[in-house]
Structure 1
Amino acid sequence: MSDRYELFLTCPKGLEGLLAEEAAGLGLEDIREHTSAIRGSADMETAYRLCLWSRLGNRVLMVLKRFAMGNADDLYDGVNEVDWQDHLLPDGTLAVEFSGHGSGIDNTHFGALKVKDAIVDKLRTAEGERPSVDKLNPDLRVHLRLDRGEAILSLDLSGHSLHQRGYRLQQGAAPLKENLAAAVLIRAGWPRIAAQGGALADPMCGVGTFLVEAAMIAADIAPNLRRTRWGFSAWLGHVPALWRKLHDEALARAEAGLAKPPLWIRGYEADPRLIQPGRNNVERAGLSDWIKIYQGEVATFEPRPDQNQKGLVICNPPYGERLGDEASLLYLYQNLGERLRQACLNWEAAVFTGAPDLGKRMGIRSHKQYAFWNGALPCKLLLIKVLPDQFVTGERRTPEQRQADAAQAAIDAETPTRNKPAPEPVIEQARLSEGGQMFANRLQKNLKQLGKWARREGVDCYRVYDADMPEYALAIDLYHDWVHVQEYAAPKSIDPDKAQARLFDALAAIPQALGVDKSRVIVKRRERQSGTRQYERQSTEGKFTEVSEGGVKLLVNLTDYLDTGLFLDHRPMRMRIQREAAGKRFLNLFCYTATASVHAAKGGARSTTSVDLSKTYLDWARRNLSLNGFSDKNRLEQGDVMAWLQGNREEFDLIFIDPPTFSNSKRMEGVFDVQRDHVQLLDLAIARLAPGGVLYFSNNFRKFQLDGHLDSRYQVEEISGQTLDPDFVRNTRIHRAWKIQAK
């Protein structure tokens, strides 16, 4: 064999340039970059060194042969011609990885099988002894890449991917691979900062990947020093003495590095479940003297190094994949920006994010950005120097203003802490965009007007905004000290990036305008509903909040469903029922959480009967009734309303029906359609109405038309306008309602 080899080093997409620099420093020559890989030439010592020291690579592949191939037979022959007895014993084990297609090979499994057959046939002994396949820990890993009719046959010297350092046995929900974390640290300038004795802090450290990789860089520890099994361990071409020499050198460098005074490296994590796994990872890496992990929220993050030295704040905030993540993530990024400004002046910061639009919401400028890939997700690394003139505000600061800010910051820095007023936990108005400030002004105006009415009426849950400004298509409801935001899906004609930016503007304005904590803002997206979509579970928090209206207490769930358990627009109807219920037998059909039944009981109803198909909502209804001390004489019936009415012979003095637009539950026969079926529904219900009784019927189907023939049989009066409170007068189509009596 030649003393020099052609090597391919694979890596995550986007790291090719960094890997080329690293590999050159480790001795690789004639380097060329490819997608997710580099190639070059090296001797065996350099190949071993790359395996041991590459922080960025995935695999080190040593090319055995290149050959042209036009079909599967060419593939077999080309592989079979290699002197495999120089690489593997006849009773050894192997694994084959095949990539690429063409030249008659359209299936990678078939290609791998051909390569395996060629090797096995070459090594088969006269006694029939032959290598076997072991995909987990083979003696030899063979890689063949097919590229435009050329086969590149290689040995994988690394074995398991080099990013698997061995310290991270426990990981969080969205782990950052170790080599990607190392690349981010290198791009962020950590090697320079560490060499100067700087500190490092991660306010969202998860299980500590950034922390461990940073400490290994600072302490000059080879990333794969602790690995015991390699792709070359059982390879017949392995040179153990050469490997031992390199490994001993790396051990000596690590011992020298760890003997230095440790740098101040700290991680903070809000999720208590990740603290111990993170500490376990640090301990496995042998870095417990260098790294400490604490539980802490981003909102209280403040790095306090021993010698007051500056350094690098680095983090990988969550990107958000679930419905309603926008609010919590926006406020997380805002909190991060505020903490950088308030607690990390003159530090450097690196924010690695898959949501660059959220990165812009930190209110602080990045001086440099790098594109990365985290798997298939495009990401950005935002590099920030936390200086006073880096802060982004809603207005442009003149040079004179910036100079004054810097002078004030210098005065503040000299002022003893005990004399400083405590910072107020508010979002500065200047940080809202122009559109965000307009939106905040509208919210504050609405709150001022509606707040007086709500206090007068004893209501602590009401709608404060309902798409008043067309470009901010949101419905915003106050539930005591919580804010429930529903984003109406933007029309397809609207640029989704603009819609997202406006949503972020609005979410930034809400806590400030309404005077609520950011953690109490919940966001949901409301699409056009089909079937029972609005009743489907969105989350599983199971957290109920108590609110009040008209002297009754009701439970709402703001997180788990698209609707909250209380239709705010029906408040006037519930109050009407409360006023008219005294001494009456009340029937509530499609009762949902039976809020109207609670009002009827409060108004002195002789009895209430509530019917719904959902056990979940009837359980909720039971809790609403018992919360107000109503349990006797308040019956809850599970069943299909139409079937229940057909089988019931009781009389009721007051009936309320608010059906869904459409229902196709598995527990009912057929499908309910309010437009098609409302006449049959009303006929069945009025048959149960006592002489002189009243039936209230409403629904929120925008295109609904009440059947014109009902007037001939019953007294019908539309009362829609009388069932709108001030918080819904702008949206007169929110529902329609009728008062119906027998003639």
Structure 2
Amino acid sequence: MSEHHELILTCPKGLESLLAEEAGGLGLEDVREHTAAIVGHAALEVAYRMCLWSRLANRVLLVIGRFPVTDAESLYAQVHAVDWREHLEVAGTLAVEFSGRGSGIDNTHFGALKVKDAIVDRLRDAGGLRPGIDKLNPDLRVHLRLDRGQAVLSLDLSGHSLHQRGYRLQQGVAPLKENLAAAILLRAGWPRIAAEGGALADPMCGVGTFLVEAGMMAADMAPNLRREHWGFSGWLGHVPALWNRLLAEAQERAAIGLARPPLWLRGYEADPRLVQPARNNIERAGLSSWVRVYQGELATFEPHPDRNQRGLVICNPPYGERLGDEASLLYLYQHLGERLRQVCLGWEAGVFTGAPELGKRMGLRSHKQYAFWNGALPCKLLLFKVDAGQFVTGERQPVARDTGQATPARLSEGGQMFANRLRKNLKQLSKWSVREGVGCYRLYDADMPEYALAIDIYQDWVHVQEYAAPRTIDPAKAQTRLLDALAAIPLALEVMPEKVVVKRRERQSGKRQYERQGSEGHFLEVREGGARLLVNLTDYLDTGLFLDHRPMRRRIQREASGKRFLNLFCYTATVTVHAALGGARQTTSVDLSKTYLDWARRNLALNGYSERQSLVQADVMEWLEKDSGEYDLIFIDPPTFSNSKRMEGVFDVQRDHVRLIDLAMARLAAGGTLYFSNNFRRFALDCRLLERYTAEEISAATIDEDFRRNERIHRTWRLQAGKTR
């Protein structure tokens, strides 16, 4: 084999230029960048050195052939032509990885099989002995990349991906890969800061990946010094003496580095479950004397007890992928910016985020940004110099001693206008809510078209629903307005940020509006007209309580005394609770959803009801056709559309309301009353019903003060036997 080899180093997308610079420093020549890889030439010693010292590469591949491929047979022939006895013992083990497609090979498994067959057939001896297959730790791992009819055949010298240093056996929810963490530290200037004796602090350290990678850089430790298995270990071209010399040099450098006075490397993690795993990872990396991890909230984070010390604050805040994350993340980023301005003057900071628009809410100007990919997710590293000249909000804000929280950042012009509107609405509705004993009400409903939100008060919680912006609106502008609004809400309403829950509400089809969106399972007890009701602000698009039906619930409560009450499409049976409180003789509530019937059962039990309260899981239309009961008071509030695996067809309120009402009226006792309501904006009551029954629209009487701005929130009719005159 020639003294110099063509080498390919793979890496995460976006790290190519950094890897090229690192590999050049380690001795790679003629470096060229490709997508998620670099290519160059070097002696075997350099290939070994990159396996040991590269902080950024995934794999080090030694190219043994490039050739054209026209079909599967030509692929087999070209691979078979290689003298594999130079690389692998006949009794050795083999693994093949194939990527790409073309030349009639459109399945990577098929391509890998052809490569494996070619190697095995070439090595099979006269007695039939042949290499075995070991996908985990083979003696030789072979790569073949096929691209536009050209194949690149390589040996993997690294074995498992080099980002797997071996110290991180315990992981958090969404850990960064080690080589991505190293790249972030390089871009953030950590090697320079460490050389100057600077400190490093991570206020959201998770299992400590940034801390370990920073510690290894500062202590001059080879990142893969502690790996036990290498791809070249069973390769016949391996030169153990050369490798052992490089390994001994790396061990000596690490010993010298660790013997120096350690830098200040500290991590803080709010989740107590992650603190010990982080400490275990640090110990496995050999950095226990350099790195410390403490449990602590962001509100109490201070990077160093000596205010004269300088260094780097680095962190990877959550990106937000669950329903309701926007609000909590906004306040997290705002608070992170506050802590930096309060206790990190003179420091540098790097924030790695998949939500860079939130970085603009930190109250600091980012002087540089770098694009990265965290797997398939585009991310940015925002770099800050924490000095007063970079403060967007002016002077540092004082910390409130009782809460440990700083005065919130100044609002944008749009945010201030939005806050003023909220204050105006609150002033108008607060007296009414106190007078009427209403603790849950709508405060804002897209009053300002550019802020398309519905904001509801649930006692001391704020529930925010974002209406999906029209396609004509720039998504970036819509996101900016949402963040402006979220920043304004705690200020205008004087609530803690953690008590603001935000959701995006789009046009829903079928039962999607009732589907579970989260899994926090947190229920809040609220009170209304003597009723105790459970709401869930986090897990569903709806909360379990339709605020606009408050007047209807009160009406049912007034009229229910001594009556048999039927609630169709009962949802969480809040109307049934009011009927029971009003003295209903018995109640029957029907819904197709087991989830909501369980919720209904809890609502009834919370108010002391269980007997005489019948809960039925069924399709309403089918149940009405079979039911033979008689009821004095019926309430129907169907969805606009509904479909379910448990029902046949689709319920359409406009199309099906005549049949629905006819079936229900057949169950109405003499002198009884049926209330029919729905929120379909274009709904029109079929005139045939006016010919059969006495029907009176009472929508205006069922709209409370908090919905006067949107009086078409629902429409309601009162129906009784006998024709309308």
TM range (shorter): over 0.9
- Secondary structure of the residue aligned to 2:366 is coil
Distance verdict in 2 for CA 1:616–1:43, change over 3 Å: closer
Q: Distance in 1 between matches of 2:118 and 2:610?
A: 80
Displacement of 1:424 after TM fit? 7.3
Displacement of 1:625 after TM fit? 2.4
What residue number does 1:398 align with?
A: none
Distance verdict in 2 for CA 1:79–1:534, change over 3 Å: closer
What residue number does 2:422 align with?
A: 443
What is the letter of the counterpart of residue 209 of structure 1?
A: T
What residue number does 1:531 align with?
A: 510
- Secondary structure of the residue aligned to 2:709 is coil
User: Normalising to structure 2: TM-score of the pair?
Assistant: 0.94
Distance verdict in 2 for CA 1:70–1:686, change over 3 Å: closer
Q: Does 1:587 align with 2:546?
A: no
What are the Cα deviations for residues 244-288 of structure 1, in whole angstroms up to 9, with x where unaligned?
111111111111111222222122223333233222212211222
Q: Does 1:672 align with 2:651?
A: yes
Q: Distance in 2 between matches of 1:621 and 1:144?
A: 60
Does the CA-based 8 Å contact 1:199-1:305 persist in structure 2? no
Match of 1:636 among 615, 618, 621: 615
Q: Does 1:624 align with 2:603?
A: yes
Q: Distance in 2 between matches of 1:107 and 1:614?
A: 44
Q: Distance in 2 between matches of 1:638 and 1:74?
A: 64
Distance verdict in 2 for CA 1:129–1:503, change over 3 Å: same
Displacement of 1:212 after TM fit? 0.8
Q: Distance in 2 between matches of 1:437 and 1:331?
A: 17
Match of 1:456 among 428, 435, 446: 435
- Secondary structure of the residue aligned to 1:334 is helix
What is the letter of the counterpart of residue 125 of structure 2?
A: T
Displacement of 1:319 after TM fit? 1.7
Displacement of 1:689 after TM fit? 3.0
Distance verdict in 2 for CA 1:599–1:147, change over 3 Å: closer
Distance verdict in 2 for CA 1:103–1:556, change over 3 Å: closer
Q: Distance in 1 between matches of 2:126 and 2:528?
A: 91
Does the CA-based 8 Å contact 2:12-2:58 persist in structure 1? yes
Q: Does 1:145 align with 2:145?
A: yes
What is the letter of the counterpart of residue 158 of structure 1?
A: S
Alignment of 1:245-284 (within 5 A): 245-284=245-284
Count of paired positions: 722
Q: Distance in 2 between matches of 1:445 and 1:429?
A: 21
What are the Cα deviations for residues 672-701 of structure 1, in whole angstroms up to 9, with x where unaligned?
332233223323333333333322211111
Q: Distance in 2 between matches of 1:578 and 1:560?
A: 29
Structure 1: runs of 5 or more not aligned: 394-401
Percentage of identical aligned residues: 76
Runs of 4+ with deviation above 6 angstroms: 420-424
Q: Does 1:726 align with 2:718?
A: no
Q: Distance in 2 between matches of 1:725 and 1:147?
A: 67
Distance verdict in 2 for CA 1:136–1:548, change over 3 Å: same
What is the letter of the counterpart of residue 428 of structure 1?
A: P
Q: Distance in 2 between matches of 1:610 and 1:259?
A: 74
Does the CA-based 8 Å contact 1:548-1:554 persist in structure 2? yes
What is the letter of the counterpart of residue 439 of structure 1?
A: F
What residue number does 1:546 align with?
A: 525
Does the CA-based 8 Å contact 1:458-1:551 persist in structure 2? no
What is the letter of the counterpart of residue 454 of structure 1?
A: S
- Secondary structure of the residue aligned to 1:236 is coil
What residue number does 1:501 align with?
A: 480
What residue number does 2:677 align with?
A: 698
- Secondary structure of the residue aligned to 2:687 is coil
Distance verdict in 2 for CA 1:664–1:370, change over 3 Å: closer
Displacement of 1:386 after TM fit? 0.8
What residue number does 2:408 align with?
A: 428
Alignment of 1:641-660 (within 5 A): 641-660=620-639
What residue number does 1:512 align with?
A: 491
Does the CA-based 8 Å contact 1:264-1:305 persist in structure 2? no
Distance verdict in 2 for CA 1:606–1:652, change over 3 Å: same
What are the Cα deviations for residues 95-138 of structure 1, in whole angstroms up to 9, with x where unaligned?
22333444554444344333333333332222222222222211
Alignment of 1:43-62 (within 5 A): 43-62=43-62
Distance verdict in 2 for CA 1:104–1:277, change over 3 Å: same
Displacement of 1:202 after TM fit? 1.2
What are the Cα deviations for residues 460-514 of structure 1, in whole angstroms up to 9, with x where unaligned?
1000000111111111101011111111111222222221121111111111111
Distance verdict in 2 for CA 1:426–1:605, change over 3 Å: farther
Distance verdict in 2 for CA 1:676–1:216, change over 3 Å: same
Alignment of 1:172-251 (within 5 A): 172-251=172-251
What residue number does 1:19 align with?
A: 19
Distance verdict in 2 for CA 1:131–1:263, change over 3 Å: same
Does the CA-based 8 Å contact 2:299-2:405 persist in structure 1? no
What are the Cα deviations for residues 61-105 of structure 1, in whole angstroms up to 9, with x where unaligned?
222233455454544444334332222211112222333444554
- Secondary structure of the residue aligned to 2:711 is coil
Q: Distance in 2 between matches of 1:685 and 1:78?
A: 78
The CA RMSD over aligned residues, in Å, is 2.3
Does the CA-based 8 Å contact 2:201-2:266 persist in structure 1? yes
Q: Distance in 2 between matches of 1:597 and 1:69?
A: 73
What are the Cα deviations for residues 205-240 of structure 1, in whole angstroms up to 9, with x where unaligned?
222111111111111110111112111111112111
Match of 1:684 among 663, 678, 687: 663
Displacement of 1:291 after TM fit? 1.9
Does the CA-based 8 Å contact 1:696-1:739 persist in structure 2? yes
Q: Distance in 1 between matches of 2:589 and 2:110?
A: 64
Distance verdict in 2 for CA 1:574–1:253, change over 3 Å: same
What is the letter of the counterpart of residue 296 of structure 1?
A: G
Does the CA-based 8 Å contact 1:429-1:437 persist in structure 2? no
What are the Cα deviations for residues 279-320 of structure 1, in whole angstroms up to 9, with x where unaligned?
221221122222222333333322234685221111112222
Q: Distance in 1 between matches of 2:464 and 2:403?
A: 28
Q: Does 1:492 align with 2:471?
A: yes
User: Normalising to structure 1: TM-score of the pair?
Assistant: 0.92
Does the CA-based 8 Å contact 1:461-1:480 persist in structure 2? yes
Distance verdict in 2 for CA 1:257–1:668, change over 3 Å: same
Displacement of 1:369 after TM fit? 0.8
Structure 2: runs of 5 or more not aligned: none
Does the CA-based 8 Å contact 2:363-2:409 persist in structure 1? no
What residue number does 1:134 align with?
A: 134
Q: Does 1:124 align with 2:103?
A: no
Q: Distance in 1 between matches of 2:272 and 2:290?
A: 21
What residue number does 1:396 align with?
A: none
Q: Distance in 2 between matches of 1:113 and 1:588?
A: 64
What is the letter of the counterpart of residue 51 of structure 2?
A: C
